[in-house]
Structure 1
Amino acid sequence: MKKIITAIAIVGFAGLTWADGLQSLEAFMKNAQAGRADFTQAVTSPAKDGQAPRTKNSSGHFEFQRPGKFKFVYTKPFEQTIVADGKTLWLYDADLNQVTERSQGQALGSTPAAILTSAADLKALQSSFELSNQADEGGLQWVQATPKDRNGQLQSVRVGFAADGGLQALDIIDSFGQRSLLRFGQLQIQPSLPASTFVFKAPAGADVLKQ
């Protein structure tokens, strides 16, 4: 989970209809200033040595506030928290009682977080990603974002929208061929989020690793 910064933003535009996924993505980037949602995540590793691919499922909730602030909380099967305040990114593993601290700018350049919480519009996003409409699938419109930096941890991201423009899914492939599919529910658009939402303090006794 630490290899893919699951970051994050969800929006539904009730009553609006968009011609394609790219237009839905552009509307999302212009109009989604804050939000919260529940999520499920299925991470599938590539098959190895003749064995079938393995899938690990998790779930939780998150909040985001543009530009660049988010909190992603995994509750099942293990507790893990990812918090970004616009400058610093923290990853907290409750079982290990360990915190990893990184510069947010270095960590998020070509990640799903950059797509959903950072860039102001498609033009800005295209400085880091190649964007293209994909065929409809599973009742969703899809946009594929491929990082221009081929040396990063991300191979591609597909962003799925409902017909009304609501963001529904992220389909992420990392550089190792691992797939992470996130689906969102219980969407809340433009909720009032206190500033403390994106403040992180290491729990007592936690090991803090700075990278």
Structure 2
Amino acid sequence: MTTSSRFMHRTLRWLGMLALPYAAAHADGLTDLATFLRTTQQGQASFTQTVTAPQKDGAAAPRSKTSSGTFEFQRPSRFRFQYTQPFAQTIVADGQQLWLFDADLNQATVRRQQDVLGNTPAALIAAAPDLRGLHSVFTLSNAPDADGQQWVRATPKGKDGQLQSMQLGFKQGQLATLEMLDSFGQRSVLRFGPMNLQPGFGSGHFVFEPPPGADVVRQ
């Protein structure tokens, strides 16, 4: 074997070794979800959310509303949704409490986090440590690939919540889309921009302090 042949042989072998983990890591949606939960400890991304009401009898088309903002999370169990359009709203989970602040009303509602996040999308993204933890709350399965994404379907095992089903789409291993269907037939789709996995959050980033004069409702 000539020197050039040996070099090519080694190069092909190295390329194969590099390619195999990528193929395995992105073989299907469940694999992508498992890798995401295992390796992603924090993240920050812009998002656009479209909420479509169920179609009523005789209606020409279902009504849709679109909003946008930023989503940030840090394991375990901390996240922030900052809606900027069309209205300013903030949802913050600090690990113990969940805050919802409506800027127009200057009103903050606070509840115990564990009472409201058992089988929600936020719990799936920000709180679940691995697939084993998710399997106790959701029935998980691969869904057909579509839109250049690999999909996972998650159905809550409990029947007492408002979430009927959920799908997560991954593109090149990163969370790109989250689709939710509630028990009233309303569909919500969040599309995420490129995710920054090293945002460098400060120690108090997920602590919410109501503005002076805000009406605080504790539930």
Give the TM-score of the pair, scaled to structure 2.
Answer: 0.87
| Aligned mates of 1:40, 1:119 — CA distance in 2 | 23
Does structure 1 residue 101 correspond to structure 2 residue 110?
Answer: yes
Q: Which has the higher helix share?
A: 2
- Pick from 87, 98, 105 the counterpart of residue 96 of structure 2: 87
Which whole-Å deviations, capped at 9, do the CAs of 1:31-72 have from their partners, x for residues lacking one? 110110000000000012422210000000121100100111
Which residue is 1:177 aligned to?
A: 185
Does structure 1 residue 31 correspond to structure 2 residue 25?
Answer: no
Q: Residues 29-178 of structure 1 correspond to what in structure 2 (within 5 A)?
A: 29-51=37-59, 52-162=61-171, 164-178=172-186
| Aligned mates of 1:191, 1:177 — CA distance in 2 | 35
Following TM superposition, the consecutive aligned residue runs of length 4 or more in structure 1 with deviations greater than 6 angstroms are: none
Q: Secondary structure at the match of 1:58?
A: strand
User: Are the aligned partners of 1:16 and 1:165 in contact in 2 as well (CA < 8 Å)?
Assistant: no
User: Are the aligned partners of 2:174 and 2:195 in contact in 1 as well (CA < 8 Å)?
Assistant: no
Q: Secondary structure at the match of 2:33?
A: helix
Which residue is 1:192 aligned to?
A: 200
Does structure 1 residue 20 correspond to structure 2 residue 28?
Answer: yes
Does structure 1 residue 205 correspond to structure 2 residue 216?
Answer: no
Given residue 88 of structure 2, which amino acid in structure 1 is its aligned partner?
E
Q: Secondary structure at the match of 1:187?
A: coil
C-alpha deviation, 1:132, in angstroms: 0.4
Give the TM-score of the pair, scaled to structure 1.
Answer: 0.90
| Aligned mates of 2:133, 2:71 — CA distance in 1 | 25
C-alpha deviation, 1:16, in angstroms: 3.8
- Bigger relative contact order (CA 8 A; separation at least 6): 1
User: Are the aligned partners of 1:83 and 1:89 in contact in 2 as well (CA < 8 Å)?
Assistant: yes
Contiguous gaps of at least 5 residues in structure 1 = 1-14
| Aligned mates of 1:208, 1:191 — CA distance in 2 | 30
Report the aligned-residue RMSD.
1.2
Q: Secondary structure at the match of 2:194?
A: strand
User: Are the aligned partners of 1:30 and 1:120 in contact in 2 as well (CA < 8 Å)?
Assistant: yes
Which residue is 1:5 aligned to?
A: none
Structure index of larger Rg: 2
| Aligned mates of 1:196, 1:107 — CA distance in 2 | 22
Given residue 46 of structure 1, which amino acid in structure 2 is its aligned partner?
P
Given residue 138 of structure 1, which amino acid in structure 2 is its aligned partner?
D
C-alpha deviation, 1:120, in angstroms: 1.0
| Aligned mates of 1:203, 1:151 — CA distance in 2 | 34
Q: Secondary structure at the match of 2:73?
A: strand
Larger displacement relative to structure 2 (181-190 or 74-83): 181-190
Number of equivalent positions: 196
